[in-house]
A and B are shown apart, each in its own frame.
Chain A
Amino acid sequence: MKERRFWLAAALTFWVAGGLQQGLAFRASIFGVEPDYLLVAAALVGFMGGFNAAIIGGFAAGLIHAALTGTDTWQFVGSKMLACLFCAFVIESRFQRNIGVGAATVAVATVIASLILMIVAPSHLMGSPIKATIIGAIYNGVIALAVYIPLERLTGTRGQEL
């Protein structure tokens, strides 16, 4: 029952994140860096749900992001899955699960995903990849701060293990 609620909430989150990525991300860019709503959603789902949630969430986020941008699927799927696995690793280790750790984890996950993307698909268009990565990490971390509590309530994982 709890698992069903969690996956339904996760699916809803990905749907909303996909829509925001499609319609809002380019308008919400700061210093030329767009937020990655799908990565935030996948990272938090992995953070709250563990390894299985991280793998499935990362795959779904990568698939949706690739479909929306029209680029190669595996670069997004791979980078997001690995970033989400890091989030799951954090929560499976001795770290406390709370909003601060969640936001920091999302920020680090963003850095990981960006680094992987830089390796598998370097873009000559990106003026300063390091700077963009740092800004993107902070941006996604702030978004994670905002959505952490609602997502925790939605998935029913507040104060309990999945």
Chain B
Amino acid sequence: MWQRSARAGGNVTFVDQIIRSVCSPIGVASGAIGKGVNDYTMGAIRASHLQDENARLQRQINALSMYSETVGRLEKEIDSLRRLQGLPDTYGKEKIRTDITGFFLNSNRLTIGVGKNKGLKVGMPVVCADGLVGTIQVVGPGDAQVRLLTTAGVQLSSIIPSHTPPGKGLLIGNGSATLQMSFQSATTNVVSGDIVTTSGFSTMIPRGIPIGRVLTVESQPELGSSRAKILPAVDVSTLREVVVLK
């Protein structure tokens, strides 16, 4: 009983409090020093192990980073393929699916894996699920070069179908990431966000293929025209497969 009551103590009395307070400065200081020494010693003893563990974790982070990047890319690709699969047939053209075999962003062109063997001709439109990618520039026996819309000097008749009558303009590639669309009117009701599509004023390129979205509109009354900056609908860097409309 006496032993149990001895252990059952633990009330902080006034005397206890005074003694603790008196010892506290040394206790706090020695505790801090002890912790520092302990951390340093354990760090020195386990340095090799920690280095190994650090390297292992770094490898895991790298692998995880690559994994999530791959998953993200594949998810986009799956999404693109799904949409490509359901590409509307209203263009009235035969669809020739093909892989991209070469990517030359500096010269604004792609190489695709079909050519004369599939009946491709210069000027045919190349599309993906998001819209128009470019047009065939050079056709080889088993491959073809695609000139992207952003290539400087590319000109394409285009419309803004949401307007009545549709706003017509000339789309011009200028070698940058955006396109320029010129309207033959100083006053236009085109606004930022309007969708731009192909006009169909061509035997090769059918009407209604999405090209991009209006970013900004600039009126030029002195020239009697206005122009808009267009953000292309297609992100070329993520493309793996395209469709040639024959």
Contact count band on B = 20 to 34
Q: Are A75 and B6 neighbours in the complex by a CB distance under 8 Å?
A: yes
- Whether B5 sits at the interface, judged by CB under 8 Å, is yes
Which parts of B9-61 form the interface with A (CB within 8 Å)?
Answer: 9-13, 15-16, 19-20, 22-35, 38
Give chain B residues whose Cβ lies under 8 Å from the Cβ of A16. 26
Q: Are A68 and B23 neighbours in the complex by a CB distance under 8 Å?
A: yes
- Whether B189 sits at the interface, judged by CB under 8 Å, is no
Give chain B residues whose Cβ lies under 8 Å from the Cβ of A71. 6-7, 9-10
Instruction: Name A18's closest neighbour in chain B (CB-CB).
Output: B23
The number of residues on chain A lying at the interface, defined by a beta carbon within 8 Å of a beta carbon of chain B, is: 26
- Chain A nearest CB from B212 CB (Å) reads 67
Q: Are B22 and A23 neighbours in the complex by a CB distance under 8 Å?
A: no
Q: Are A72 and B9 neighbours in the complex by a CB distance under 8 Å?
A: yes
Of B3, B20, B27, B30, which contacts A67 at CB under 8 A? Answer: B20
Q: Please indicate which of the listed interface residues A67, A73, A121 has the most CB atoms of chain B within 10 Å of its own CB.
A: A67
Q: Are B26 and A70 neighbours in the complex by a CB distance under 8 Å?
A: no
- Whether A20 sits at the interface, judged by CB under 8 Å, is yes
Give chain B residues whose Cβ lies under 8 Å from the Cβ of A19. 23-27, 29-30
Secondary structure class of chain A's binding surface, majority of residues: helix
Mark contacts of A103-133 with chain B using CB atoms, 8 A cut-off: 1 yes-contact digit, 0 otherwise: 0000000000000000011110000000000
- Whether A27 sits at the interface, judged by CB under 8 Å, is yes
Instruction: Name A37's closest neighbour in chain B (CB-CB).
Output: B30
Mark contacts of A82-105 with chain B using CB atoms, 8 A cut-off: 1 yes-contact digit, 0 otherwise: 000000000000000000000000
- Chain B nearest CB from A67 CB (Å) reads 4
Give chain B residues whose Cβ lies under 8 Å from the Cβ of A66. 9, 16
- Whether A21 sits at the interface, judged by CB under 8 Å, is yes
- Whether A22 sits at the interface, judged by CB under 8 Å, is yes
> A121 with B23: in contact, given A27-B35, A72-B9 (CB under 8 Å)?
no
Q: Which residues in A have some Cβ–Cβ distance to B below 8 Å?
A: 15-16, 18-24, 27-28, 63-64, 66-68, 70-75, 120-123
Extra A-B contacts (13), CB below 8 Å, given A24-B27, A70-B9? A18-B19, A18-B22, A22-B31, A23-B27, A23-B30, A23-B34, A27-B34, A27-B35, A28-B34, A64-B19, A66-B16, A67-B13, A74-B6
